[in-house]
């Protein structure tokens, strides 16, 4: 071992220019968000086609809506990770708070005839109240019991929405948002760019809130609860209140996301209430990398994009011509996503965002292994 | 009176279905700390296996008499094999990562129903069954469908068999000890991994049997059937106390009956709500479930 370290040190001083170059590269790489930021802000004005990735030019209303959906789901996954990756709570009922935002806002607009701003406020409050009450009950059990109870609550919400009590929710069809109650600048296909900006604003808000709370003293306690809840108790803190705070915050962000989603899709549909919706959030978070700053965002964007594009792929002629062994699984996006999810769990622990670090770690270990081999004789 | 009798039998039948799913879930969770989200998929596999065999694809099996029994046996066997495969291929490589085990079963639980609907379509398929089982019999002025009684009987048989297995055999002893304290069993030099596979096989068989008989109960099979039953099975498992078989049995009967009666006497859909409200109340009063086991 000692013979191996000495020559390596000498080798580093020998190729000095290469080191400075790599350092300069690394310094430049620190500015990677800049081009991304520019891209995000120029998207609505761009007519550039991205063949394979998107259908037609980027700035077309259809693609703008897909991109806005990607941003909303990236934000939703980031909010959900507040529970899963930051506090260690595996909630299976997140769809309920999202749906509360969507359905309450839409229903108040339709039934009470209030303006969008008032309805959205009520929808948000409904999300806060619901997550506070149900969170208080479900957090009485810990671990897997908590997961099951949140799932059961969300299921009730889903059943209620689909049974359509009093014709309020629209049952399995859902209900379209009333165009006359919405601000004129948010209605119609020519205003899709505005919706994109709203989705972007929501994403930024979620990222800021999550970053800020995670770095605050409460966030430290969350981290402690995730690592070892018993030790937090021993330190004289009651985890219950902290967990409830995380649950309510995540629920509030989800409800806000529901309102943005309502604007984006122009209606409330029962698909957003189902447990599949929560599971897809879970897939997004794990796909991207749970407990990281950008992971859930990356996962949400990737998943939403893949879901839409795989749907197009399933309906395309290329798949219809394949033999049935290939055609049958390819026609189901959910099968592909489920299989992909299992594959990610095995092959990519830590998600997609850990991929660069893993690759470079693999490369350095290979390089040192090679060097050791050379030095051995 | 006749309504009450009918509702009781329907509730018992539904409870039996819940028990067939929940018993496996509860044992798997108790022993391995794995919440098996793919358990509903196992039920669907059993249901589709039986449907496939009973529709005349399997020689000797058919919609009537002994042929149907063979079809049910075939469906159960397919479900058991699927469960063992699930344990060996998906769960076993992740023994050191418990959170990922649950996530992997979520992935399988999403993929399998999607695959089933890709092969046989997303719409419900009519379920073939023998005439004797699709009929009714008169009791206290009510026309009770026979399949309710068959389901309840099957659940009682499964409960008795499981009780005997856990109480009287050496493997059952290992499973019970593993539920109590897995680390201690390993420390005594017993390979708990065999017990893991065994418990998965038992749970898969029970769920697949539930799927086969659930086809009779609902009269049709569809890919999402298992997933919707799974959620109420979760409610049963939490209510009964996780890892407890007796608790699961009591809770499944209670949940089935409450659901049926509330759905009939109030508006439809309120029964499902009542069950979850009951769960919430129970958790507020006794956070560890009916049997007081550690959650």
Task: Give the count of beta carbons closer than 10 Å to the beta carbon of residue A59.
Answer: 18
Nearest to B280 among A137, A148, A155 (CB): A137
d(C-alpha B192, C-alpha B206), whole Å? 21
Of the candidates B53, B54, B47, B50, the residue with the CA atom closest to the CA atom of residue B112: B47
List B residues 211-270 in contact with A (Cβ-Cβ < 8 A): 227, 231, 234-235, 237-238, 242, 267-269
Residue labelled with tokens 């149907």: B68
Tens digits of residue pLDDT in B73-93: 888 899 899 989 888 888 888
Between A68-77, A202-211, B77-86, B227-236, the lowest mean confidence (pLDDT) is in: B227-236
Residues of A in contact with B103 (CB under 8 A): 282, 286, 341, 345
pLDDT of B246 reads 84
Q: Are A159 and B287 an interchain contact pair (Cβ–Cβ within 8 Å)? A: no
A87 φ, ψ (degrees, to nearest 5): -110, -15
**The predicted structure's pLDDT at residue A80:** 92
Given a cut of 80, is residue B139 above it in pLDDT? no
Question: Nearest chain B Cα to A350, which residue?
Answer: B100
φ and ψ at residue B119, rounded to 5 degrees: -80, -50
Highest mean pLDDT among A47-56, A260-269, B263-272 belongs to A260-269
Give the CB-side neighbour count of residue A314, counting CA atoms within 13 A. Answer: 18
- CA A170, A173, A179, A183 torsion-angle sign: positive
A366: exposed, middle or buried (C-beta count within 10 Å: 0-12, 13-18, 19+)? exposed
CA distance to partner chain A, nearest, from residue B213 (Å): 24
CB B60 within 8 A of CB B225: no
Which percentage of chain B shows pLDDT scores above 70? 93
Alpha-carbon gap, residue A12 to A6, rounded angstroms: 10
How high is the ipTM of this complex?
Answer: 0.75
User: Within an 8 Å CB–CB cutoff, is residue B281 touching chain A?
Assistant: no
Which chain B residues have a beta carbon less than 8 Å from that of A313? none
pLDDT band at A2 (very low <50, low <70, confident <90, very high): very low
Please give the structure tokens belonging to residue A37. Answer: 């930021």
* The total number of residues written for chain B in this structure: 295
Q: Which long-range contacts (CB under 8 A, 24 or more apart) does B265-272 make?
A: B267/A163, B267/A165, B268/A163, B269/A159, B269/A160, B269/A163, B269/A165, B272/A155, B272/A156, B272/A159, B272/B232
Taking each continuous run of H as one helix and of E as one strand, the counts in chain B are 12, 4
Q: Do B269 and A159 make contact, defined as CB atoms within 8 angstroms?
A: yes
Chain segment B225-247, per-residue pLDDT in tens:
787 788 888 888 888 777 778 88
CA distance B276 to chain A (A): 6
State the pLDDT confidence band at A314, using cuts at 50, 70 and 90: low
First-to-last C-alpha distance (Å) of chain A: 13
Contact B252, B18 (CB under 8 A): yes
What does the pLDDT average to over A141-150?
A: 79
How far is A239 from A236, CA to CA, in rounded Å? 9
Residues 6+ apart with CB under 8 A from A218: A242, A245
Cβ within 8 Å, pair A160-B100? no
Name every chain B residue with its beta carbon within 8 A of the beta carbon of A155: 231, 272, 276
What's the CA gap between B206 and B204, in Å, rounded? 5
Whether B283 and A140 lie within 8 Å, measured CB to CB = yes
Contacts of A152 in chain B (CB under 8 A): 231, 234-235, 238, 276, 279
Which has the closest alpha carbon to B84: B183, B192, B205? B205
Q: What is the pLDDT of residues A24-47, one digit of tens each?
A: 777 777 776 677 777 777 777 776
Q: Which residues of B touch A141 (CB under 8 A)?
A: 238, 283, 287, 295
Structure tokens at B129: 């069954």
In which band, very low, low, confident or very high, does the pLDDT at A77 lie, cut at 50, 70 and 90?
very high
Asked if B285 is an interface residue toward chain A (Cβ–Cβ < 8 A), one would say no
Residues B183, A317: Cα–Cα separation, whole Å = 55
β-pairing verdict for B220-221 and B125-126: antiparallel
At residue B295, the pLDDT reads 36
Please name the member of B100, B238, B280 whose beta carbon is closest to the beta carbon of A148.
Answer: B238
pLDDT for A230 beyond 90: no
Assess B295–A contact: CB distance below 8 Å, yes or no: yes
Q: Spell out the residues 6+ positions from residue B199 whose beta carbon is closer than 8 angstroms to its own.
A: B24, B27, B28, B31, B32, B175
d(CA A265, CA A287): 25
Q: What is the pTM of this model?
A: 0.80
Write out the residues of chain A at the interface with chain B, using a CB-CB cutoff of 8 A. Answer: 90, 137-138, 140-145, 147-149, 151-153, 155-156, 159-160, 163, 165, 275-276, 279, 282-283, 286, 328-329, 331-335, 337-339, 341-342, 345-346, 349
**What whole-number distance in Å separates Cα of residue A248 and Cα of residue A325?**
46
Min Cα distance A139 → chain B (Å) is 10
């Amino acid at each position: 071992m000692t013979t191996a370290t000495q020559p390596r040190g000498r080798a580093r001083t020998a190729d000095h220019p290469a080191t400075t170059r790599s350092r300069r590269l690394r310094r430049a790489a620190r500015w990677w968000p800049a081009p991304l930021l520019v891209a995000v802000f120029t998207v609505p004005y761009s007519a550039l086609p991205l063949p394979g990735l998107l259908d037609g030019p980027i700035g077309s209303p259809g693609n703008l809506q897909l991109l806005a959906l990607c941003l909303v789901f990236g934000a939703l996954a980031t909010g959900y990770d507040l529970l899963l990756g930051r506090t260690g709570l595996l909630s299976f009922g997140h769809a309920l708070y999202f749906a509360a935002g969507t359905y309450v806002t839409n229903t108040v607009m339709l039934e009470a005839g209030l303006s969008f701003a008032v309805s959205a406020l009520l929808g948000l409050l409904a999300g806060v109240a619901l997550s506070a009450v149900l969170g208080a009950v479900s957090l009485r059990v810990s671990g897997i019991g908590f997961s099951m109870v949140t799932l059961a609550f969300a299921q009730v919400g889903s059943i209620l929405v689909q049974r359509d009590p009093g014709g309020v929710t629209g049952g399995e069809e859902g209900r379209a948002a009333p165009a006359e109650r919405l601000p004129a600048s948010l209605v119609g296909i020519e205003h899709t760019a505005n919706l994109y900006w709203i989705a972007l604003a929501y994403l930024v808000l979620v990222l800021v809130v999550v970053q800020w709370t995670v770095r605050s003293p409460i966030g430290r306690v969350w981290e402690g609860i995730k690592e070892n809840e018993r030790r937090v108790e021993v330190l004289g803190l009651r985890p219950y209140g902290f967990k409830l705070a995380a649950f309510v915050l995540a629920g509030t962000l989800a409800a806000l996301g529901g309102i943005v989603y309502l604007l984006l899709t122009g209606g409330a549909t029962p698909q957003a209430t189902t447990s599949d919706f929560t599971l897809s959030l879970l897939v997004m978070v794990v796909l991207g990398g749970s407990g990281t700053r950008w992971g859930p965002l990356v996962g949400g964007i990737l998943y939403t994009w893949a879901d839409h594009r795989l749907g197009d792929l399933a309906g395309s002629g290329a798949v219809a011509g394949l033999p049935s062994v290939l055609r049958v699984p390819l026609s189901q996006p959910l099968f592909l996503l489920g299989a992909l999810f299992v594959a990610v769990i095995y092959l990519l622990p830590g998600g997609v965002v850990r991929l660069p670090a893993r690759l470079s770690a693999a490369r350095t270990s290979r390089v040192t292994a090679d060097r050791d081999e050379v030095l051995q004789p | 009176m006749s309504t009450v009798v009918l509702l009781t039998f329907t509730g018992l039948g539904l409870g039996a279905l819940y028990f067939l799913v929940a018993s496996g879930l509860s044992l798997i969770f108790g022993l391995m700390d794995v919440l098996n989200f793919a358990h509903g998929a196992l039920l669907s596999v059993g249901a589709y296996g039986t449907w496939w065999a009973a529709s005349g694809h399997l020689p000797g099996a058919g919609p009537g008499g002994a042929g149907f029994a063979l079809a049910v046996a075939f469906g159960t066997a397919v479900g058991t094999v699927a469960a063992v495969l699930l344990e060996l291929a998906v769960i076993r490589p992740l023994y050191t990562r418990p959170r990922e085990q649950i996530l992997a079963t979520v992935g399988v639980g999403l993929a399998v129903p999607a695959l089933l609907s890709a092969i046989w379509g997303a719409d419900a398929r009519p379920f073939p069954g023998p005439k004797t089982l699709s009929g009714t019999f008169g009791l206290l002025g009510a026309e009770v469908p026979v399949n309710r009684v068959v389901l309840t009987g099957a659940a009682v048989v499964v409960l008795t068999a499981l009780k005997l297995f856990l109480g009287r055999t050496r493997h059952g002893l290992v499973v019970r000890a593993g539920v109590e304290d897995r680390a201690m069993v390993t420390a005594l030099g017993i390979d708990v991994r065999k017990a893991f596979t065994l418990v998965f096989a038992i749970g898969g068989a029970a769920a697949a049997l539930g799927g086969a008989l659930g086809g009779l109960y609902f009269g049709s099979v569809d890919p999402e059937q298992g997933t919707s039953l799974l959620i109420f099975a979760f409610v049963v498992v939490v209510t009964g106390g996780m890892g407890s078989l007796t608790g699961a049995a009591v809770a499944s009967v209670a949940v089935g009956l409450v659901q049926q009666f509330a759905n009939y006497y109030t508006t439809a859909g309120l029964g499902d709500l009542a069950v979850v409200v009951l769960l919430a109340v129970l958790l507020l009063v006794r956070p560890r479930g009916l049997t007081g086991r550690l959650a």
